[in-house]
Structure formats: C-alpha cells, structure tokens
Amino acid sequence: MIHSTQVVIIGAGPGGYTAAFLAADLGLTVTLIDESPRPGGVCLYRGCMPSKALLHAAKVLTDAREAARLGIDFGEPNVDLDRLRAWKDEVVARLTGGLRQLSQQRSVTFIQGMASFVDAHTVSVASGVTDGDAEHQQIKFDHAILATGSRPSHPAPLALDDARVLDSTGALDIQHVPTSLLVIGGGYIGLELGTVYAALGSEVTVVEMTANLLSGVDRDLVTVIARRLNRVMKAIHLETMVTGLTAAADGIAVAFEGPAITDQVQRFDAVLVAVGRVPNSNVPGLDRTKVELDSRGFVQVDPQRRTTEHSIFAIGDVAGEPMLAHKAFREARVAVETIAGRPAAFECKAIPAVVFTDPEVAWCGLTETAAAEAGRSVRVAKFPWGASGRAMTMDRPEGVTKLIFEPDTECLLGVGLVGTGAGELIAEGVVAVEMGATASDLKLSIHPHPTLSETIMEAAEVFFGQATHIHRPRKS
C-alpha cells in the first residue's frame, strides 16, 4: 500500500503529538507513526506521568507520617501495591485515551508500527503481524519530523540479565517493594524513583560517580534536598563507582569503588540503573538520507529544527539536550510553523527544569554555576524559606528562592528554587526571564500574602537590601 501525506511524524510522544496536532490545525495532512497503540510516548507510558503519579503517592505517605508534628497522628499508612499500580495505570490510560480522541478529532492518521526511511521523501511502515509477517505500507511525504525520543542508558559494566536489575521503565511497574534497593546514579531519575521506593519502605542506597548529586545544578539548591535525602535514605555515596553486578541467590552482588566504601561487595534485593538516557537516533534507513548525527548520537538541527536533509526535521530528546518534554513541545511548534511557511526559530532564554523529589528543585535561565564557568559577573539575591510565613504554616521551611541578575542593568538572568511546590513556582521565573524583567519589576509586582510565590518578590527586595522579612543590607 502507498499513500501520500504532507507531514509524516515518527514518534508520538510529547513532541510528536504536539507537532501532529498543530500541523492539522494549520490545514496540513498529517500521518503520525508510533509503536504504541495510542499517542503518548515515553512521557505518558513510561516516564513523566507514571513517575509523577507515584511521586504524588510518596508525598502523601510522607505527609501522613510527618503530620504527627502537627498533632495529627494517622499511624503507619497501609500501602496496597495492586491498587496503587492500578491507579497509576488508570492515569496513563486516561491521558493516552484523551490524546487518541484529540488525534481523531483533528483527522490525524495514526498508524501503529515501526517506520524506516526508504529515501528523503518516503518511509516504510511495518505494522501488525499475520502468520509471522508484518504488513508493510509506504508513505510519501513532503516533510518528515523525527520525534523518536530517548531510552535508558545501559553501560556494559551494569548490564545483567536479571529481573532484579531495573531501569526506569521496570521501576515504574512497581511489582514489589524490595527490602533493600541500590540506585546507581544521583541524577533526577535516580533521585525521583529512589524517593518513591524510600517512601514505600525500601532501604535505599544511592551511588553517584561525581562529587555531587544533580551534577550541574547550583550547590546551594542541592544542599537543601541532599539534607533531606540523607534523612530518608539509608546511604548516599558520592565519588563512587559500581564496577560490576553479579546475580546471587540472596540478591544482586554489587562491586564498588569509592573513598567512603568499606565493604567492596554488598548485596541488594534490587538494583535500579539510572545513569542517563541516550537518543533513539538509530532509525532504520536514516543513513539513506543526508541527516547527520553528532558524536553522542543526537540528530543535528538548525534553529528551525531542520536537519541536514532539507525535508526532514527533528525535535525532542533525539535532537539534543535538555531531554525535557516541554522543550519538545516548543520545538514541535517551531518545526511545524517552519514547514507551514511561517517565521519561527527555537531561541528560548529560559527552559525550566524540575526535579520532582521532596522537596522539589527547579531552575531556569542562567545558573550561578554556569555563570562562574563562563567567567560572567552576576549578582545573586536569595530569600530563605525559613523567613516565609507560608512555608512555616506548611511545616516546610526548608527551601530557598534564588535570583540571578545582571549587575549593571538589574536584568533577571536566571531563577533557582528548592522547596515544596518549586516546580509550580518556576513558571513565574520563566516568564520574567523571557520578558526581560528587572529586579525593580519583581520588587514592585505585588504578590499575594501569605504564599510561597512572594519569596520571589522578597528575593528581589534582597537585591536592594530592603527585604521586609530578613535583614540583609545591600553590599556596596
């Protein structure tokens, strides 16, 4: 079978379905291809949404346990794993079902199958199996958008074919709660999932090969979350490497190298490998086009997200870091608007990032760490949540709001937050950075009281040495 379409999109994750829906809204004929039965991609099926559902459950557990400080004693909560898993799966089903309905309403042709390139204007799709043979159809297109996403990295020393060795996908299935869990990797995936399992009752140990958790994030923000993680987890070992995994009858034997390691081999009931993700750029037949990859396997694109093959675009994780769904949302719009003949470019100043641990960490724009590495002079204004009335009433005073300014112009360059709900608060920072707000703009914008959002206003007041709820005179 052969049919034609103006735009074919390979991958129906956040970038892919956003591109498909916008292209259809602009009057283009669209074919969306994915191996899953519904749009959604890794984010909905095996990433963002199931993990946030479980993180919400973990926070409910934590809040229930800590309510005794307020004079409210629930006792030890009982966790029904089957019902928890069913609830998480229901959330995923509702979201993906909604996307399927939106796809149908827009007359987007959705094909479940695996796509491969025949040439720069043709893909072949294998879908369904009859007597062991897949059904093939060819699609002619004017433009293609690669939105194939990424997958968990599996370094050779950590590869072990054992059900007790999990990646993020397996950990989200949450079939049981191991008594002891080793998390390899102190990035956002490892810390988020480690938080879930610790709340559910696992003794969680985290190992990170670098000197810090959340590498690249400002240390003063990470310090706050590290302080809490050290209380809820059994151990956190930095500058520590796992050199091998071996299956044993009583668990997984793990070999370590690190300055704080006393037992070079330790056993765990389960191991979660969370050492990053790699792009899904190994699309069959891509070598039949002029598309080029960089040394890490990312598809090379220009500001319009066009590859070195003029008819093919790439968005989302496969097109480079940061590997974030909301980055893919924006890139999708840029690519489709370019295809539709509209002026567009991906030129964002502030792509927000959020680590959904408890407390959350969020940042956007220029970080203090990046400024120091670039030798750039900045002014930093910080407001501690211990001085926030709202944080105190929530019994969550640990937290910091941090603003990065250009010293001479007072222009806001970046925002960093750590504390409960930081992922929601960072949106104001994104708007402020993108709109070129100054310290005076933030100081003079009335924020509601008592809220956590007013810590942004008060941090701007710190810039001038005039914050109401802390005394921190401006340095001359």
Examine residue 348 and state whether it is found in any structural domain, yes or no.
Answer: no
- Model pLDDT, residue 136: 85
Q: Tell me: do 81 and 181 sit in the same domain.
A: no
| CA atoms within a 13 Å half-sphere pointing along the CA-CB vector of 431 | 8
Could you tell me the pTM of the whole model? Answer: 0.92
Structural domain harbouring 201: 154-275
Q: Tell me: do 12 and 138 sit in the same domain.
A: yes
Examine residue 39 and state whether it is found in any structural domain, yes or no.
Answer: yes
Q: Tell me: do 30 and 101 sit in the same domain.
A: yes
- Model pLDDT, residue 145: 98
> What whole-number distance in Å separates Cα of residue 304 and Cα of residue 22?
15
**pLDDT tens digit string along 412-423?**
999 999 999 999
**φ and ψ at residue 164, rounded to 5 degrees:** -85, -5
* Band of pLDDT at residue 473, cut at 50, 70 and 90: confident
**pLDDT tens digit string along 374-417?**
999 999 999 999 999 999 999 999 999 999 999 999 999 999 99
Strands 353-355 and 360-365: antiparallel
Q: Tell me: do 117 and 158 sit in the same domain.
A: no
Q: Are 19 and 9 in contact (CB under 8 A)?
A: yes
* Band of pLDDT at residue 476, cut at 50, 70 and 90: low
Q: Are 141 and 124 in contact (CB under 8 A)?
A: no
- Model pLDDT, residue 183: 97
Q: Tell me: do 310 and 363 sit in the same domain.
A: no
Which residues lie closer than 8 Å to 86 by C-beta, 6 or more apart? Answer: none
Examine residue 235 and state whether it is found in any structural domain, yes or no.
Answer: yes
Find the mean pLDDT for residues 49-70.
93
Q: Tell me: do 34 and 137 sit in the same domain.
A: yes
Find the mean pLDDT for residues 315-330.
96
The mean pLDDT of the chain is: 94
Q: Are 363 and 218 in contact (CB under 8 A)?
A: yes
Q: Kindly tell me if the per-residue pLDDT of 132 is higher than 60.
A: no
From the candidates 326, 449, 469, 471, give the one annotated as an active-site residue.
449
Which residue, among 116, 105, 100, has the nearest Cα to 8 in the 3D structure?
116
Joined tokens for residue 428: 């104001």
Q: Tell me: do 296 and 147 sit in the same domain.
A: yes
Q: Which of 248, 275, 302 is the last residue of a domain?
A: 275
Overall number of domains in the chain: 3
- Model pLDDT, residue 130: 45
- 449 an active-site residue? yes
Q: What DSSP letter does each residue of 275-320 carry, written as one string?
A: S-EEE----TTGGGSS--B-TTSPBP--TT-B-SSTTEEE-GGGG-
Find the mean pLDDT for residues 118-143.
83
Report H helices in 67-202: 81-105, 168-173, 188-200
Examine residue 386 and state whether it is found in any structural domain, yes or no.
Answer: yes
Examine residue 197 and state whether it is found in any structural domain, yes or no.
Answer: yes
Q: Are 470 and 388 in contact (CB under 8 A)?
A: no
Residue 340 has a CB neighbour count (10 Å cut-off) of 17
- Sequence-separated contacts (24+) of 211-217 with Cβ below 8 Å: 211/238, 211/239, 212/186, 212/238, 213/186, 213/187, 213/238, 214/186, 214/187, 214/188, 214/355, 214/361, 215/186, 215/187, 216/367, 216/369, 217/355, 217/361, 217/363, 217/367, 217/369
- Model pLDDT, residue 47: 85
Q: Tell me: do 443 and 316 sit in the same domain.
A: no
Q: Kindly tell me if the per-residue pLDDT of 156 is higher than 90.
A: no
Which residue, among 17, 14, 20, has the nearest Cα to 6 in the 3D structure?
20
Which residues lie closer than 8 Å to 223 by C-beta, 6 or more apart? Answer: none
Determine whether 176 is exposed, middle or buried from the number of CB atoms within 10 Å of its CB (0-12, 13-18, 19+): exposed
Examine residue 344 and state whether it is found in any structural domain, yes or no.
Answer: no
Residue type, 319: A
- Model pLDDT, residue 263: 82
Joined tokens for residue 74: 């629930």
Examine residue 221 and state whether it is found in any structural domain, yes or no.
Answer: yes
Q: Counting runs of H as helices and runs of E as strands, what totals does the chain give?
A: 13, 22
**pLDDT tens digit string along 273-311?**
999 999 999 999 999 999 999 999 999 999 999 999 999
Which residue, among 61, 75, 67, has the nearest Cα to 200 in the 3D structure?
61
Q: Are 273 and 206 in contact (CB under 8 A)?
A: no
Q: Tell me: do 300 and 363 sit in the same domain.
A: no
Q: Tell me: do 267 and 288 sit in the same domain.
A: no
Q: Tell me: do 333 and 361 sit in the same domain.
A: no
**pLDDT tens digit string along 64-99?**
999 999 999 988 889 999 999 999 999 999 999 999
> What whole-number distance in Å separates Cα of residue 325 and Cα of residue 45?
13
Q: Tell me: do 68 and 147 sit in the same domain.
A: yes
Examine residue 347 and state whether it is found in any structural domain, yes or no.
Answer: no
- Model pLDDT, residue 134: 67
